[in-house]
Amino acid sequence: MTEQINEKLSTPKSLEAMKRFAEQYAKRTGTYFCAEPSVTAVVIEGLAKHKDDLGSPLCPCRHYEDKEAEVKDAFWNCPCIPMRERKECHCMLFLTPDNDFAGDQQTIEMEVLEEARKSMV
Ligand code: SF4
């Protein structure tokens, strides 16, 4: 496991935790990752970064005026309420099989995550 290489990126511990969460949650809900793995990788990195900065994996695909308040509100803590209630993930992390963008994977390689992170610094 490498050390945190840039303060813009999540720590390896959070990245690993959110990778595991995403894989387990996809299996549990019968959803699939996007056919384009870099989409999945960017969302997982965003969740991990929020977990580091805020203590909770706040959805990374939204704009917030006050992130701390949103964390307390919990609506957009992943898995968010729309996902839990209706399997709606606007980040395209968890896709139902009928979604045109859904791939056939419920796992993602750490190498793919690392590759996406390199493009984010
Ligand atoms: S839309 Fe919901 S389920 Fe999808 S990544 Fe954001 S918080 Fe998680």
**Residue 96 predicted with pLDDT over 80:** yes
Q: Is residue 113 domain-resident?
A: no
Residue 82 belongs to a domain with what CATH number? Answer: 3.90.460.10
- Average pLDDT on 89-112 reads 98
Q: Is residue 119 domain-resident?
A: no
In total, how many domains does the chain have?
A: 1
Query: Domain limits at 87?
Result: 10-96
Q: Is residue 110 domain-resident?
A: no
Q: Is residue 108 domain-resident?
A: no
Task: Write out residues with Cβ below 6 Å of ligand 1.
Answer: 43, 59, 61, 76, 78-80, 83, 89-91, 93-94
Query: 34 a known binding residue?
Result: no
Confidence of residue 1 (pLDDT cuts 50, 70, 90): very low
- pLDDT tens figures, 52-90: 999 999 999 999 999 999 999 999 999 999 999 999 999
**Residue 22 predicted with pLDDT over 60:** yes
> What pLDDT shows up at residue 7?
86
Asked if residue 99 lies in contact with residue 78, where contact means CB atoms within 8 angstroms, the answer is: no
Q: Is residue 118 domain-resident?
A: no
> What pLDDT shows up at residue 3?
52
> What pLDDT shows up at residue 109?
98
Asked if residue 41 lies in contact with residue 115, where contact means CB atoms within 8 angstroms, the answer is: yes
Q: Is residue 19 domain-resident?
A: yes
Question: For ligand 1, what atom is nearest to the CA of residue 77?
Answer: 7
- Rounded distance from Cα 19 to ligand 1 centre (Å): 13
Q: Is residue 69 domain-resident?
A: yes
- Average pLDDT on 10-33 reads 98
Question: How far is 9 from 72, CA to CA, in rounded Å?
Answer: 23
Asked if residue 44 lies in contact with residue 108, where contact means CB atoms within 8 angstroms, the answer is: yes
> What pLDDT shows up at residue 5?
59
